[in-house]
Amino acid sequence: MSETDPLHAILADDAPVNLEAEFESSNVKEVLDKLDRELIGLKPVKTRIREIAALLLVDRLRKQFALTSATPTLHMNFTGNPGTGKTTVAMRMAEILHRLGYVREGHLVSVTRDDLVGQYIGHTAPKTKEVIKKAMGGVLFIDEAYYLYKPENERDYGAESIEILLQVMENNRDDLVVILAGYKDRMDKFFHSNPGMRSRVAHHIDFPDYSADELLHIAKLMLAAQNYRFSPDAEKAFFNYISIRMTLEHFANARSVRNALDRARLRQANRLFANASKSLSKTDLMTLEAEDILASRVFVEGKLDMDGDEGSDIVAD
């Protein structure tokens, strides 16, 4: 994978190479453009990902001159609140690494503590190894990684899992890339108490919360992807909804937006059904009206809707 392609001879010292051409031929541009298009906001994240892509491209060019350096460490740490796009960006990252030839298959295996840590002695190692084997050739995404480390219980099996992960992160760098994710403060604490982890993770990327404007933008993008749209009044109502929702508990950025839209679609269907005698146009079926939004308890009582899964979705997906 990352070794020099035997078909390409080592270039002469004065041979020119073209970074632009290398960029085009790797097809990463396509993924980066898609990232720009499909993900609203996230400026600092997009910049960091471009930087990493540039580093890997240059690394590839250096290889053409047989300028060897150790395979760059690619393990990463994504921090941010729920629904800020960490899982989504990790999936894109896997694709970028695949196109640049740093992972062989480019799939993402997303796990949490329960997938890695066992219930009894001798259970953890096989469990962790099984997950690692599944992730090989791609990216292992460990959500809320700090749950692996429970300092209050010194016999916790999480430590065993960390131990195995550390080994693989060091010895199998050509086989898989590990991305850890979670809340910023808890990840910082996790790295503080696990220096082994800290020294193996090279890239720390912080995902900021979205502004109300960005969330509205995201909502419109999500609706368009499902062939829905807001009426002008509904758009205003949804902006107000977001502004209130952001101040309530369990707010999960883009995920809360997705859930709110799901409930609005339900109300739209009910509304259409209630007026079933009237014949419906394509526009009717596509359009969310203000009343579909304003019926939310967020407006009526300043409380969360209970018909959705707003309570349970704080657990990252």
Partner 1 sequence: MMTNPNGIVTQGQFSFLPALTDAQITAQLKYALKHGWAIGVEYTDDPHPRNTYWEMFGNPMFDLKDAAGILMEINNCRKTFPNHYIRVTAFSSLRGVESPTMSYIVNRPKKEPGFGLVRQEAEGRSMRYTIHSYATDKPEGERY
Where do contacts with ligand ADP occur on this chain (CB under 6 A)?
39-42, 80, 82-88, 218, 221, 254-255, 258, 316-317
Query: Quick one: which segment of 80-88, 101-109, 159-167, 283-291 binds Mg ion (CB under 5 A)?
Result: 80-88
Of 87 and 253, the one with the shorter C-beta distance to Mg ion is 87
Of 1 and 280, which CB lies nearer to partner 1 in the complex structure?
1
Quick one: 137 or 308, whose CB is closer to partner 1? 137
Which amino acid appears at position 279 of this protein? S
Scanning 99-107, 198-206, 224-232, 290-298 for contacts with partner 1 by CB under 8 A, the matching segment is 99-107
Structure tokens at 6: 């035997």
CB of 72 to partner 1, least distance (A): 19
Among 26, 87, 194, 296, which residue interacts with Mg ion (rule: CB under 5 A)?
Answer: 87
Backbone angles phi, psi at 141, to 5 degrees: -105, 115
Q: What strands, in cross-sheet order, belong to the sheet with 76-80?
A: 108-111, 139-143, 177-182, 76-80, 203-207
At which residue do the structure tokens 């205003």 appear? Answer: 236
Cross-strand pairs, 288: 230
Residue 122, classed as helix, strand or coil, is coil
Q: Would you count residue 161 as binding Mg ion (CB under 5 A)? A: no
How many residues sit in the footprint of Mg ion (CB under 5 A)? 2
Applying CB under 5 A, which part among 36-44, 82-90, 162-170, 184-192 lies near Mg ion? Answer: 82-90
C-alpha pair distances (Å), 36 with each of 41, 112, 217, 227: 8, 28, 13, 21
- Burial class of residue 151 in the structure, from the number of CB atoms within 10 Å of its CB (0-12 exposed, 13-18 middle, 19+ buried): exposed
Binding partner of residue 104 among ligand ADP, partner 1, Mg ion, none, CB under 5 to 8 Å per kind? Answer: partner 1
Q: Is 187 in the site for Mg ion (CB under 5 A)?
A: no
In angstroms, the Cα distances linking 41 to 46, 49, 81, 222 are: 9, 14, 15, 14
Q: Candidates 19-27, 41-49, 129-137, 297-305 — which segment interacts with partner 1 by CB under 8 A?
A: 129-137
CB of 181 to ligand ADP, least distance (A): 7
Say which residue the tokens 């996790």 belong to. 190
Helices 212-225 and 232-245 cross at an angle (nearest 10°) of: 130
Q: Which does 35 bind (CB under 5 to 8 A by kind): Mg ion, partner 1, ligand ADP, none?
A: none
178 binds, among ligand ADP, partner 1, Mg ion, none (CB under 5 to 8 A by kind): none
